[in-house]
Every structure is written in structure tokens, then in C-alpha cells.
Structure 1
Amino acid sequence: MRRLATPAQAGLLHLIGGTPMAWIPAGDAGVGYRAKLESAGIGGMKARAAISLLSGAVARGELAPGAPVVESTSGTLGMGLALAARALGHPVVLVVDDELEPDMRALFTAYGVRLEVVERPHAVGGWQRARLDRLTEVLAATPGAYWPDQYDNPDNAAGYAAMAQEIIDQVETVDVLVATVGSGGHCAGLTRVLRQRWPGLRVIGVDSVGSRIFGQPARHRVMRGLGSSILPRNVVYSDYDEVHWVGPVEAVASCRAVAARSCVAGGWSTGAAALVAGWAARREPGAHVVTVFPDGPHRYLRTIYDDEWCVARGLLGVAATDPVEIAAPDAVEVEGWARCGVVRDPAGAGAPV
């Protein structure tokens, strides 16, 4: 049964989306790409997914009035869920890990979100698996709770249809879409709509070094918000023409370079997207390249933009200026920026898609 939002709730929902597109220079005069600045919408990019996840559950009768919403997050989806759940009248419990920044913890507390903090990573699945294990316990102890399951819920991708339409309205054409990949939702949602408008659209996926998504082995990742130690089923492998893996040294350098060049800044996903979008724009100067900057810089002022923090982790080294080419996703374990033109589902039969 559908529940209508009150005027106050509708006002909150109205703040999601409608973000601008910015030109980001990436080399010589006239060379660059366009970036959707999701930090200009309240809740960041994943607020779009959050409202879709909860609205879909309400429409199907899976989310009862006033029932708690419980989800695992490294931070960004949590912000979106806090907003969406408040608008729809639900309390939120977020399962986070011990590496969540103090500023984010304080903000969640201010928003009235209950945090369940995992203190140790899983031996194999890292923080992500440990959070999901705790989530199972929280669900069992919370009668009536609803888990959106951002990793395996088609409502995630559906939440980005409006963003795709905004892009269509903001640019004349798109030749290349560069999309960071975590849960897989925003790339799947954008590609589905944008390829209806531009069938020849090429899609470049951007993953993190140490992520399993595209066939590399999982290991500890400094970067948050992209990559995964599990295989999210929202990832549509057939959407991608190639994949890049980006390391934290490259992401830090990219974040800082974009900020210095354009006064537009963001976090790990923004730096990774900017690195690959700039490479694509320089490689094909006439191509119209578009990417998405998922959030702004404020969460990262004590990490990415803090010299002391970066030096302590060896993140101010020499960053690669071009990716290493590998023949297959599992041909070699990559340590930094790498690229592969073969994309396949690691859980499938192994044939390229």
C-alpha cells in the first residue's frame, strides 16, 4: 500500500537530485570532461538510491509504517538513507565499521541515526563481510526491521533513472560514461537509460585496487565508497566496455589536482572517476566524456586532504600517469592504476561478456 508523504516530508524529498554539470579541464586548452556534481544535492548521490530502495519497499508492502530500516554502509549510502527514512517516517540503524571517520559518526548522531560499529574486519571478507554479519544479528534482534540490501536490489539502479534524464537534458551527447563501481547501482541505472538515447555509448567501469568486483583478489582497501570484498549482484557486467582499477596514491593525487585546477573537490570515488575521465578525454580529444562526482570534500578533509594523514600511509608518492594494461582481469594482481578491455562476471562461467 502506498503512503503519501506529508508536505514536510515531500519538501525533504524535493531536495534530492537536480544537480549541476561542471566542465573539468584535464589537459591542454579545450580538453576535459563533464562531471555531475552530486554534492550539490542534499544527501549526495546515494540519496537517489536510498529513496528508491525505501519507496519500492513501501509500494510492495515490505516496509511497514514506522518500521526500522537497517543497512550496512561505509558512509555515503547511510547519509542518503538518513534523509529518505526521515522523509518517509522510519528510524534508521546503520551497521558501520571502526574506520568510519569521526566527523561522519558525529553527523549520523546529529541526524538521530543509531550506529552499530564493527570493530574488527572479517578474516576473508574484510570490513564489508564483518558489517553484513553484524547486520544479520541486528535484523534478528529488531522485530519488523527492513533491510534494503543495496548490493542485490534492483531498486538501487532504478533510483538513478532521474539522474540519467538530467544528464540527457544537460548535454548534447555522451560518447563515454566513466562510472565508479561499488554496489553497481548507479552505473546500471545510468547505462540503461543513456544507451536508449545514445546506443553507441561506451562505458568504463572504475574499481578500487583490492576489490573483487571484476575478478581481482580482495584485500584491505584504504579507499572507501568504491570497490567491494563481495560480489554485488547489481553489477551488470555486460554494460562495461572496459574496467580500470585505481589505487589510493592515484586517487589522492587526482582529488588534489582536480581541487587545485577547478575548486571542485570530493572523496575517493570522485578522485578515481576524475583520474579515468581525464585519461579518456586526453586519449580521445573529440569524445564527449561524462562522469559522476558522488560527494563533496568535507568528509575527507582529515584524510585525503590532510598531508600528515596521507604521509603516515604512504599516499603522497609518485602517482601513475597512465594505466598498466593487463590481458585479463585475473591475469595479475594489480598494485596501482591498471586497465583491462576484458570484462566478465567472476561468479559466472568465466567467458567475457
Structure 2
Amino acid sequence: MQVHPNQLVPGCIVMKAVAGKTQHPIVLNNTVIEEKHIEVLQHFNVKAIEVSERLVSGAIFKPKDREQEKEETETKPADFASMYRAAVQLYKKMFNQWQSGSPINLIELRKMLVPLFECIEDIQLDVFLLHKHASKEDYFFHHGISVAILSAHLAKKVGYHKEWIQVGLAGILADSGMARLDSSILQKEGSLTLAEYEVIKKHPTLSYRLVEHINALSKEVKLSILQHHERLDGSGYPLGVKEGKIHPFAKILAISDTYHAMTSERYYKKKQSPFKVIEEMLVLAHTKFDYVLLQTFAQTLLNYSIGTNVVLSDGREAVIVYVKPETPIRPIVRLIEDDEIISLKDKPALFIEKIISA
């Protein structure tokens, strides 16, 4: 029988290979349908598929009602956006207190951040689009909250099921030492001078000193705060240590910090596409960033992005339909204007410029 991909259920048996606008079939004959196959068929805009009248279990296949839609709610993302904005303002208030000499109140920080961390699985792609909330004027405070969320997210993804919240806290505390610097440097709208940059490079040490005696933070977290600007080849600061001496938590912070900075609009730098940023970071991975961590970060972005509407660097709109594990930042897309399928791997000059919507 012929059915629409939306009518399929796991266990359906494909009776005729599904052709697409590529050299190879999208789904082969005799394939037992899984959720991943349904998703791919939907994103390739397949209109019909030939399947057996019985499931692989032997039961009679009863196609889904085409009018049945999955319930989608904007409640959690909307709640998250409100929580995020409130957290940015609260962090700004806290930072001003640190500038006045007040100590870091870890209980208040946890109270502010943990509810955001608990939303990570619900907001999915929005984890990678936190920069859309940021403004040039309050970039520093958006950056702190976003690095905390991204760091907690990546830590959890790579298996830190107990420490992931602590890694998230490290993400916001990494720049706490900025409170001990001249505020004119933080508020400067133009590029920093070499002298000012040298001053900025002191902030990891100052951050470490601010958290050094907080007993509720582990030694590993404190070390990661000190090392979050270190790089694998020894080109980072403040110590210039190399890969073997950089704590894994610090490597997570380095990726989150760089990604959010490069994707955000700042006074002296334009924001870049998340896909372009990660592609550039992957080029530097073996000298600057932990490659396995960065691959996990990239793969998670693309897993969330399948089915997402995007704008390509040439201005055309497209939908991400498939991601090859070996080239996660250059997925296969379907053009909106004519349904043409393009593999960005084969078009090095073309890349995803902007995400429109999921």
C-alpha cells in the first residue's frame, strides 16, 4: 500500500526503494522503518512510500490519521526566554556588587542558573541560538549566562552526569575576575589596545582568586576557571600550559566561550553563523580545542537542526534534511525554491549563513 511518510509507524516494511534527487535511494527496499527513517523522508519532502500491509511483527499495519498532529507548545521556550532575560539582569546586578567588593554568593548563583540548566533538553536548538537574545550594550552579561548554559549542556552530553551543573557554574564564574578590572575597559565600544588586552588577560587569575576559598566548588572547577583561556598548543593564557595539563572542564569552557563570542554581535565584531563558527573552530581543533568535545558540540547542533529552515550564504532559503557524521557542519539541504537537494560538502564556497526557524 502507498502511504504518506506522516502515516508511517516503526515496524513498517518498505516494499519499493524510495528515490530522491540524489544518486542513491533515500530508503532501500525491505528496510524496516524506524523513527529516523520517518524523519528523513519528511525532510526530503517525499509524498508517498510503498509499504507492506503488515508490520515486521506480523501485525496488520494501520496507517496514522493524516490529520493527527503532534502537540507542539511554545510554553517552555517562552518560559525559558523570560527566565533567561531575568537571569541576565540578575547577573548584571550581582556583577555590580562584585565590583563594589561583595563576595560571590554561590547559593544565589545556583538559584539563578539551575532552572535554566533544567530547561536545556526542552529548548534543544535554542541552546545554540542564545546569541539571538544578546545585545551589544549588555553583551558581557549575556555572555556569562550563555557560556554557563552551553558549558552545562556540553558537560552533560559527554557524560558528566554528576558534575555538569558545577561545570555550568564554572562557565559564569570564569569571567568573575573582570569585576576587579577597570570598568572603562569592559565598557569600551571599540577594539582593545595591546595594553588593554594585556590587562584583560589577567581576568582568569583574578577569577580564580575570587572562587579559591568557596568550599562548595570543587578543585577541578576552580582549576577550570583559571584555565578557560588556555589552548592545546600552549598559546593561551594566563599560564600557557599545553593539552596534557589543561583540565577537561576547562576545555569545555573554552569551546562554549569561543562559540558564543563569535556568534554574538559585539561593538567591535560582527556576529557569525553558528555553522561557520564551528567550521572555523574545527579547523583549529587539533591545536586550540579538544577535537572530541568539539565534534560532540557540532553533532548535537546538527541533530537539533534537522528540519530547520536556514538561509545559505548566497541568500537562498533551504531546509536541513540530512547530516553525515563525517561532515557534521556541512549537511545536505533542500532548497525551498525548487526542492533541489544540495550537499554542502560538495560546495565549499557555500555555507549556512543564518538559522530562520526550527
TM-based fold match above 0.5: no
**Between Structure 1 and Structure 2, whose CA radius of gyration is higher?**
2
TM-score, length-scaled by structure 2: 0.27
TM-score, length-scaled by structure 1: 0.27
In terms of fraction of residues, the more strand-rich structure is 1
